[in-house]
Amino acid sequence: MENDTDQHTCAICADERQYVPRDGQRWTTLGERAAEGCSVEVTQVEPDCFALHATPRVDIGQRAMLVRTPGGNLLWEVPGYLDDAAREKVAGLGGVAAVMASHPHMYGCQLEWARAFGAPVYVSEADRGWVRRRGEDGEIVSWSEPFEVLPGIRTCQPGGHFPGSAVAVWDAGAGGRGVLLAGDTCKAVPDPGWVTFMRSFPNLIPLSAAVVTRVADSIAALTFDRLYDNFGEQVPVGARDVVLRSARRYAEWVRGDHDDLT
């Protein structure tokens, strides 16, 4: 996690969506991680789409995605580590033209990755207050309206998990049927026929039926067939319908429609 202005408390860890470990907060640096033998693994997920994750596990174990387009590459989320070897691997794939995180839990090393490739960082205006390292003028760009971050990749903010929680659609993904980079806005589960929605995943705090329906309707307005979340799970086909079906099930349960079964 990026270094907080308060050296004793990580604001995002203290928030109810996350938690401070029982043994307290521990700060670290890229240098310390290097001494621990950390590295970034790069794996091809499908043509022009690569997964990046730091090992041994750092931060919350997230997986970033590098998507190649004719106009440059998008780094969606960021690994929790960066060194020269990782920079060279990504440079060999075409570098990074834009950095975007789906929500504040993924901000981490975003400035380090952006500076390594001279790329801007795009941060949802609604979540800008969670940014701890604000960078120099022009390094971090706020946004609120849907826009094409790179040719063939459009992003919007359905909200839910955070007010500015974002998703991105890569038109050329899944053989031209479209890929949704979902982050934690709607999370894939081990059963590929379902996704879920939460205010807090580790603390199991739900969202309301109204919010989940709003988020799902916003996502369903997009065109995609495959979904990747930020922890290695996916919905390989029919993902748009899965989002809608999952939202209906979720709303029914939190609304109390099936209380007779409990």
At residue 148, the 3 state secondary structure works out as strand
DSSP state of 200: B
CB 147 within 8 A of CB 125: no
Q: Is residue 256 part of a domain?
A: yes
Domain that holds residue 87: 11-261
Residue 3 lies in a domain: no
CATH code of the domain in which 186 resides: 3.60.15.10
Q: At residue 252, does pLDDT exceed 90?
A: yes
- 80: Cα within 13 Å, side-chain hemisphere: 23
Q: Which tens digits make up the pLDDT trace of 115-139?
A: 999 999 999 999 999 998 888 888 9
Helix (H, G, I), strand (E, B) or coil at 51: strand
Report the domain count for the chain.
Answer: 1
Question: Does residue 207 lie in a domain region?
Answer: yes
More confident residue, 32 or 93: 93
Does some domain include residue 6?
A: no
pLDDT at 178 over 60: yes
**pLDDT bracket for residue 4 (50, 70, 90):** very low
Residue 152 confidence (pLDDT) = 97
Which backbone phi and psi does 47 adopt, to 5 degrees? -50, 130
* pLDDT above 90: residue 11: no
